[in-house]
C-alpha cells in the first residue's frame, strides 16, 4: 500500500485532484438542481396545457421524485464497478453520461411537437441523469480521500462538500438572472432549453483537464486478489463483513441529507407557509446562509480529524440544535435580524462538511465505493422523496416542524458523536478485507 503517513505533505498532483473534483462537483450539483428551479416551466412544455391543476402538480412532483429514485439505481448498479475496474474509469463514465443526458434534454421536442413521447423521453433522460449523479457523489469523496495524505482527508472531503453548495449558490444566481432575462412565455416556448445547454457545456469542461487526474494510489496498490472479478463480488464481501458499517453509514447519511435538504432546499418554502417576510430580504438571507454554510463546511473539515471526530460532531450537533430553535423563535418574534440568524444557521449546518471523511473510512478499500454508494443513495433517496412531503404537511399544522425535525437529527448526530468518541481505535483508510 502506498505510504500516506500522518505527516506526508499534499503534492501538487493531489491539489489538482481536489480542485478538479471540487469544480466538477459544483457543476454536477447545478446540473441536478435545474429541474427544481424549472419545474413549472418544464411541466408546461412537456404536458398538455389543459391538464387539471392538481394533476399537473402531481406530474411536476413525479418528475422531481424520479431524479431521487434513480440515484440508488445508478450508485448501486455501477458503483461496484469502481471497486473492480478502478475509480477513474467510473468517474469518466459518470461525467460523460451526465453531460450527454443534459445535452439530449436541451434538444428534446415538446408535448406540442411529439405528444406523449416527449415527456416519456424526458423522464428517461432524467432517470439516466439521476443514476449518473448517484454514482458521482460518493465517488467524488472516495476519489479525493484516496489521493490525499490522511491528515488532509477531512478538509479535502469538506472542500468537495462545500463545492456542492457552490453549485446551489450558482443555481440561485443563474435562475434569478434567467427569470429577469426572459418572460414566462419565452421560457415555456424555448428558454427552458438554455439551462440544460449551459449545464451540458459546463459538464464537458472538466474533461479538458482529464490528463491532470490519475487513478487513486490506494486502488493502484490494492492486491489484485482482493478485487473481485464478477459484478456481484463487492456486494458479497460488503454484506458478509460490513453490516455494521452499512448501518453506521446510513445513519450518518441521514444526518447529511436531512440537514442539507431542509436548510438549503426546503426551508425557504416551509417558512413562507406560516411567516410573512420581505421577499427580497429573505432571498438575500438564504443566499447568505449558503455562503456561510460553505465556510462552515470548510471550518468543520479543518478542525476535525479521525482522532477528534466524535467530540467535534457532538459539539457541532448541539450548536446546530440551539441555532435552529433560536432561528424559529426569532421568526416568531418578527424576524428583524433574519440576515444574522440565517447566516449563523448556515454556518452551524456546515457540520455536514466533516461527515464524508468518516463515511469513506467506514469501508475497506476493495469495497469502499460499493459501500458508500449503497449507504448514501439508499438513504438520500428515502429522505429526498419523503421529507419534502412529510415536513411540508407537518409545517401546515405546526410552524416549528422544521426546527423540531432538525433537532431530532441533531440528537442523532450527538449519539453518533458519542459513539465515535468512545471507539477504542478507528480503522485506517487503507485497510482491506
Per domain, the residue ranges of the chain are 11-207, 229-433
Q: What is the DSSP string of 13-48?
A: HHHHHHHHHHHHHHHHHHHHHHHHHHHHHHHHHHS-
Confidence at residue 426, expressed as pLDDT on a 0 to 100 scale: 57
Task: Give the pLDDT confidence score for residue 288 in this predicted structure.
Answer: 94
Superfamily covering domain 229-433: MFS general substrate transporter like domains (1.20.1250.20)
pLDDT over threshold 70, residue 188? yes
Answer yes or no: is pLDDT of 311 > 60: yes
Structure confidence at residue 352 as a pLDDT band (50, 70, 90): very high
Chain position carrying cell 436541451: 106
Predicted TM-score (pTM) above 0.95: no
Please determine, for residue 129, whether its predicted confidence score (pLDDT) is greater than 90. no
- pLDDT interval class at 157 (50, 70, 90): very high
Q: What is the pLDDT of residues 201-238, one digit of tens each?
A: 999 988 888 888 888 888 888 766 556 555 567 778 88
Q: Give the DSSP letter string of 101-133.
A: HHHHHHT---HHHHTTHHHHHHHHHHHHHHHHH
pLDDT at 167 over 90: yes
- DSSP per-residue string spanning 345-402: HHHHHGGGGGHHHHHHHTS-GGGHHHHHHHHHHHHHHHHHHHHHHHHHHHHHH-TTHH
Which of 66-75, 98-107, 257-266 comes out lowest in average pLDDT?
A: 66-75
Q: What is the pLDDT of residues 252-278, one digit of tens each?
A: 999 999 999 999 888 988 888 888 887
Average pLDDT over residues 51-56: 61
Higher local confidence (pLDDT), 80 or 394: 394
Query: pLDDT tier at 409 (50, 70, 90 boundaries)?
Result: very high
Position 40 pLDDT exceeds 80: no
Confidence of residue 417 (pLDDT cuts 50, 70, 90): very high
> Which grid cell is 172?
440561485
| Residue 22: burial class (beta carbons within 10 Å; 0-12, 13-18, 19+) | buried
Specify the CATH superfamily of domain 11-207: MFS general substrate transporter like domains (1.20.1250.20)
Which position has the higher pLDDT, 311 or 221?
Answer: 311
Amino acid 51: pLDDT:
57
Does 11-207 match 229-433 in CATH topology?
yes
Identify the band that residue 1 occupies on the pLDDT scale cut at 50, 70 and 90. very low
The residue that leads in pLDDT, 124 or 223, is 124
The confidence score (pLDDT) of residue 3 equals 43
Is residue 118 scored above 60 in pLDDT? yes
Q: 336 versus 423: which is more confidently predicted?
A: 336
Whether the pLDDT of residue 331 is over 70: the answer is yes
Contact status, residue 111 vs residue 45, Cβ threshold 8 Å: yes
Instruction: Please state, in angstroms and rounded to a whole number, the distance separating the CA atoms of residues 323 and 38.
Output: 31
pLDDT tens-digit readout, 364-396: 888 899 999 999 989 988 888 889 889 988 998
Predicted pLDDT of residue 359: 92
Q: What is the mean pLDDT of residues 299-308?
A: 88
Mean predicted lDDT score pLDDT of the chain: 86
pLDDT of residue 232: 60
Separation of alpha carbons 51 and 55, rounded Å: 7
pLDDT digits (tens, 9 = 90+) for 131-151: 888 889 999 999 999 999 888
Amino acid at each position: 500500500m502506498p505510504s500516506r503517513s500522518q505527516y506526508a505533505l499534499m503534492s501538487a498532483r493531489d491539489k489538482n485532484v481536489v480542485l478538479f473534483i471540487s469544480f466538477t462537483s459544483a457543476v454536477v450539483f447545478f446540473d441536478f438542481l435545474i429541474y427544481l428551479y424549472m419545474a413549472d416551466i418544464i411541466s408546461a412544455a412537456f404536458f398538455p396545457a389543459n391538464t387539471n391543476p392538481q394533476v399537473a402538480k402531481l406530474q411536476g412532483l413525479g418528475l422531481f421524485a424520479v431524479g431521487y429514485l434513480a440515484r440508488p439505481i445508478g450508485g448501486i448498479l455501477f458503483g461496484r464497478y469502481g471497486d473492480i475496474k478502478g475509480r477513474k474509469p467510473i468517474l469518466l463514465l459518470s461525467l460523460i453520461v451526465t453531460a450527454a443526458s443534459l445535452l439530449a434534454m436541451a434538444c428534446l421536442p415538446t408535448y406540442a411537437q411529439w405528444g406523449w413521447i416527449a415527456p416519456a423521453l424526458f423522464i428517461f433522460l432524467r432517470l439516466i441523469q439521476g443514476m449518473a449523479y448517484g454514482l458521482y457523489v460518493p465517488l467524488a469523496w472516495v476519489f479525493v480521500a484516496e489521493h490525499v495524505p490522511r491528515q488532509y482527508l477531512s478538509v479535502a472531503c469538506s472542500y468537495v462538500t462545500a463545492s456542492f453548495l457552490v453549485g446551489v449558490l450558482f443555481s440561485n444566481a443563474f435562475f434569478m438572472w434567467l427569470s429577469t432575462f426572459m418572460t414566462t412565455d419565452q421560457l415555456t416556448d424555448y428558454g427552458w432549453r438554455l439551462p440544460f445547454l449551459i449545464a451540458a457545456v459546463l459538464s464537458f469542461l472538466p474533461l479538458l483537464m482529464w490528463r491532470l487526474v490519475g487513478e487513486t494510489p490506494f486502488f493502484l496498490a490494492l492486491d489484485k486478489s482482493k478485487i473481485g472479478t464478477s459484478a456481484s463480488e463487492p456486494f458479497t464481501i460488503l454484506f458478509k463483513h460490513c453490516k455494521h458499517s452499512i448501518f453506521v453509514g446510513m445513519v450518518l447519511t441521514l444526518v447529511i441529507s436531512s440537514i442539507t435538504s431542509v436548510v438549503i432546499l426546503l426551508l425557504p418554502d416551509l417558512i413562507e407557509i406560516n411567516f410573512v417576510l420581505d421577499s427580497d430580504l429573505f432571498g438575500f438571507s438564504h443566499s447568505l446562509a449558503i455562503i456561510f454554510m460553505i465556510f462552515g463546511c470548510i471550518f468543520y473539515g479543518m478542525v476535525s480529524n479521525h482522532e477528534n471526530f466524535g467530540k467535534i460532531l457532538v459539539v457541532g450537533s448541539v450548536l446546530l440544535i440551539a441555532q435552529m430553535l433560536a432561528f424559529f423563535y426569532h421568526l416568531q418574534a418578527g424576524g428583524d435580524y433574519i440576515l444574522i440568524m440565517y447566516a449563523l444557521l448556515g454556518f452551524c449546518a456546515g457540520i455536514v462538511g466533516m461527515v464524508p471523511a468518516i463515511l469513506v473510512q467506514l469501508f475497506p478499500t476493495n469495497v469502499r465505493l460499493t459501500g458508500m454508494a449503497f449507504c448514501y443513495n439508499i438513504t438520500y433517496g428515502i429522505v429526498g422523496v419523503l421529507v419534502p412531503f412529510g415536513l411540508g404537511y407537518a409545517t401546515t399544522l405546526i410552524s416549528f416542524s422544521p426546527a423540531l425535525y432538525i433537532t431530532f437529527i441533531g440528537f442523532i448526530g450527538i449519539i453518533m458523536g458519542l459513539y465515535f468518541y468512545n471507539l477504542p481505535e478507528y480503522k485506517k483508510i487503507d485497510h482491506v478485507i
